[in-house]
Amino acid sequence: MRALKNETFFLIFWLLLLGLPTLAQAQADQKELVTRGQYIFAVAGGCACHTEPKGTHNAGARAFPIPLGTVYSTNLTSDKDTGLGGWTDQQIIDGIIKGLRKDGSRVLPVMPYGAYSGMAQDDLRALVAYLRSLKPVKKVTPDLKSPPLARSLGTAAWLQAFGTFYTSPATAPKGGIERGKYLTDHVAICGDCHTPRNSIGVPNKSLYMAGAGKNIGPLGQAIPNITPDKETGIGDWKRDDIAELLLKGTKPDFDNVQGLMEEVIQGAPHGYKDMRKEDALAIADYLKSIPAIKNKIQ
Ligand code: HEC
């Protein structure tokens, strides 16, 4: 009897000894994943649309005008009722890259899921781990204000006609212009603001990164041309100037950027400012490689 007890004791002892390091390892892995996710969140401008100016970070409810009304960004915190707390990892990923809600309905394409659909699987998993780590904040997202049916029918038809989706690679390019393009198009989504749209929100691909006047720019803001055109774009900025703007918000003439650009740089609270210098330079190099387009923004 006593021998058996001793055996059981040793068995438990060994199991603990073997199990603890794996548990510790799993916790360390999870922490590393969340840290990587925080970085992706930062390069995504802190998903700034989901924070009201001066409001609680990531709790949503920010109003965006759309052709037929107003739509509100959603609560990204881990609150069970009003945030993402009740969503599975895969549901959150489908929300980011397909615009699908937990109930299978589609989010309006104001949320740039087409662009995010090219985000690497690795980066998406990390981003989701980070979102899950956000302190829950209870805040209900106001209902969409638009005529009934506009949402479901309109969204389906819009996506059918104009939606562009990409294949998500397993891992992101590690460096060089390839990485710059990846970050620009699928994580930082510079074109979501810097490429102009028509009156029903379709991006004009022939004016890629060529800016938008106040009359059509998001939230009525004028968006500069960031193609390498010397006269109307940023052709005479050095790569370091572009990186400096992303990391500090200062232009070569020492002026500070304002409005939406300042928001994505500052983030919520992580934003472009927290990007690694080499990533900011990769974006700069990519921007210098795209076609120069003459488009004067008033
Ligand atoms: C949420 C919208 C938004 C996103 C996303 C965005 N920008 Fe901007 N950007 C703006 C606005 C608005 C301005 C003008 C700010 C001002 O006038 O002070 C601006 C200004 C700039 C300028 C200054 C140009 C000039 O001539 O003064 C550069 C360079 C720039 N953005 C690059 C980028 C890059 C690179 C990215 C992606 C990494 C990016 N932006 C993402 C909205 C955005």
223 CA from centroid of ligand 1 (Å): 7
Radius of gyration from C-alpha coordinates of the chain: 22
Percentage of residues in the chain having pLDDT higher than 90: 79
Q: Ligand 1 pocket check: which of 194, 209, 289, 293 to mutate, most ligand atoms within 8 Å of Cβ?
A: 194
| Per-residue exposure over 247-269, b if at least 16 CB sit within 10 Å of its own CB, e if not | bebebeeeeebebbbebbbbbbe
50 CA from centroid of ligand 1 (Å): 18
Q: Atom 43 of ligand 1 has which residue's CA nearest to it?
A: 261
Same domain, 162 and 35: yes
Point out the least confidently predicted range of 1-5, 9-13, 199-203.
Answer: 1-5
pLDDT in tens, 160-218: 989 999 999 999 999 999 999 999 999 999 999 999 999 888 999 999 999 999 998 89
pLDDT in tens, 26-74: 899 999 999 999 999 999 999 999 999 999 999 999 999 887 789 999 9
Q: Atom 23 of ligand 1 has which residue's CA nearest to it?
A: 224
106 CA from centroid of ligand 1 (Å): 28
As a residue count, the chain comes to 298
Distance CA 145, CA 160 (A): 23
Same domain, 162 and 36: yes
Q: How many domains in the chain?
A: 2
Q: What is the pLDDT of residue 119?
A: 98
Q: Is residue 15 part of a domain?
A: no
Q: Is residue 266 part of a domain?
A: yes
**String of DSSP letters for 123-168:** HHHHHHHHHHTSPP---PPPPPBS-TTHHHHHHHHHHHHH----PP
Same domain, 178 and 156: no
Nearest atom (ligand 1) to Cα of 242: 29
Q: What is the CATH number of the domain that holds 277?
A: 1.10.760
Q: What is the pLDDT of residue 226?
A: 98
Among 141, 166, 191, the domain boundary falls at 166
Same domain, 210 and 288: yes
Same domain, 96 and 212: no
Range of the domain at 39: 31-166
Q: Atom 41 of ligand 1 has which residue's CA nearest to it?
A: 190
Q: What is the pLDDT of residue 175?
A: 97
Same domain, 120 and 64: yes
Q: Atom 25 of ligand 1 has which residue's CA nearest to it?
A: 224
Same domain, 206 and 81: no
Among 166, 181, 210, the domain boundary falls at 166
Nearest atom (ligand 1) to Cα of 234: 26
Q: Atom 19 of ligand 1 has which residue's CA nearest to it?
A: 261
**pTM, rounded to two decimals:** 0.93
Among 104, 131, 166, the domain boundary falls at 166
Q: What is the pLDDT of residue 148?
A: 67
